[in-house]
């Protein structure tokens, strides 16, 4: 999930990186290994941000690797290049990743992304699936929000905030309707249509008192986005957040945020 209503910030990405690393489905990375060519591997990380996917995945892949880091934010790319995993070479690819086509993917052993698909439209995901499958390139696409959020203990406003937040995730931006919580099923369907085998695994955040700062920041962003979508919620937002932060301060608040990981294997549909 991206921190809504703000450009993706390096601080937000740093705050969420440990929870992301714990949540990603390591079994999909394990399974992927069987489908990779002999190295050195060229890996493209789409929407790399500060490079957390590489820091998580590079050590799980065999042999020498060259990572092509795609992002439209030059500041984030610079940070990613400054914090590369050991034994990995990398190059920045500044620009819009939705332009990538099959020809550009030639020679790529793996396309990967983390917390990206929900920011794309259905056409962009379709284009990505077509490009990957045309070149027989596997894709490991992690941490797409599912819309499932469980806050314990419950609060009477949770449902209204959740509904408004999900609608905000699916909003239309410059003529593109974002997929939000529809991203994982849309991507799975697109890759299958193009003949890939798709393996799906849950990758939820399970947050409690040890992740207090992340919970607070995530909740603030969630409520801000919900109010942007449904301004009538604004009057209740402050008291709601105070109740939530008080519960967190007492060590009582637990949050499960649903995500899904997908491994798409072209040409190996069962």
Ligand X SMILES: C[S@@+](CC[C@H](N)C(=O)[O-])C[C@H]1O[C@@H](n2cnc3c(N)ncnc32)[C@H](O)[C@@H]1O
The contact set with ligand X (CB under 6 A) reads 2, 8, 13, 20, 47-49, 52-53, 70-73, 76, 96-98, 114-116, 119
Nearer to ligand X, 109 or 119 (CB): 119
Nearer to ligand X, 144 or 233 (CB): 144
Rounded Cα gap, residues 184 and 186, in angstroms: 5
Q: Is the dihedral of CA 215, 46, 201, 23 positive or negative?
A: negative
Of residues 222, 84, 240, the one with CA closest to residue 163? 222
Helix (H) or strand (E) holding 223: helix 212-229
Note whether 87 and 51 are within 8 A (CB): no
Specify which residues 176 forms β-bridges with.
173
Note whether 29 and 54 are within 8 A (CB): no
Nearer to ligand X, 61 or 233 (CB): 61
Nearer to ligand X, 8 or 237 (CB): 8
Nearer to ligand X, 114 or 229 (CB): 114
- For the bound state, the minimum distance from the C-beta of residue 198 to ligand X, rounded and expressed in Å, comes to 20
The number of angstroms, rounded, from the C-alpha of 208 to the middle of its chain's C-alpha atoms is 21
Of residues 36, 52, 35, 54, the one with CA closest to residue 44? 54
Q: Is 258 left (phi over 0), alpha (psi -120 to 50) or beta?
A: beta
Rounded Cα gap, residues 143 and 118, in angstroms: 9
The number of angstroms, rounded, from the C-alpha of 148 to the middle of its chain's C-alpha atoms is 15
Residue 84 CA neighbour count, 13 Å, CB half: 17
Nearer to ligand X, 178 or 248 (CB): 178
Q: Is 145 helix (H, G, I), strand (E, B) or coil?
A: strand
- For the bound state, the minimum distance from the C-beta of residue 7 to ligand X, rounded and expressed in Å, comes to 8
Nearer to ligand X, 108 or 114 (CB): 114
- For the bound state, the minimum distance from the C-beta of residue 218 to ligand X, rounded and expressed in Å, comes to 12
Joined tokens for residue 197: 């085998």
């Amino acid at each position: 999930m991206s921190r809504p209503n703000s450009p993706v910030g390096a601080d937000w990405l740093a705050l969420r990186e440990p929870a992301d690393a714990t949540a990603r489905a390591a079994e999909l990375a394990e399974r992927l290994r069987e489908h990779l060519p002999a190295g050195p591997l060229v890996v493209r990380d789409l929407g790399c941000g500060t490079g957390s996917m590489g820091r998580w995945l590079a050590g799980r892949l065999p042999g020498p690797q060259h990572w092509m880091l795609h992002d439209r934010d030059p500041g984030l790319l610079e940070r990613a290049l400054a914090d590369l995993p050991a034994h990995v070479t990398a190059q920045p690819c500044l620009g819009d990743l939705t332009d990538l086509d099959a020809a550009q993917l030639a020679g790529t052993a793996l396309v990967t992304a983390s917390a990206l698909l929900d920011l794309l439209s259905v056409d962009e995901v379709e284009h990505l699936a077509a490009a990957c499958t045309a070149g027989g390139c596997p894709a490991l696409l992690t941490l797409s929000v599912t819309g499932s959020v469980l806050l314990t203990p419950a609060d009477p406003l949770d449902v209204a905030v959740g509904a408004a937040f999900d609608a905000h995730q699916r909003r239309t931006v410059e003529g593109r309707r974002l997929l939000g919580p529809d991203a994982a099923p849309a991507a799975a369907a697109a890759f299958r249509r193009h003949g890939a085998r798709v393996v799906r695994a849950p990758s939820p955040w399970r947050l409690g008192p040890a992740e207090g700062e992340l919970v607070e920041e995530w909740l603030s962003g969630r409520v801000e986005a919900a109010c942007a979508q449904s301004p009538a919620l604004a009057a209740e937002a402050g008291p709601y957040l105070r109740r939530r932060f008080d519960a967190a301060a007492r060590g009582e608040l637990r949050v499960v945020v649903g995500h899904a990981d997908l491994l798409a294997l072209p040409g190996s549909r069962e």
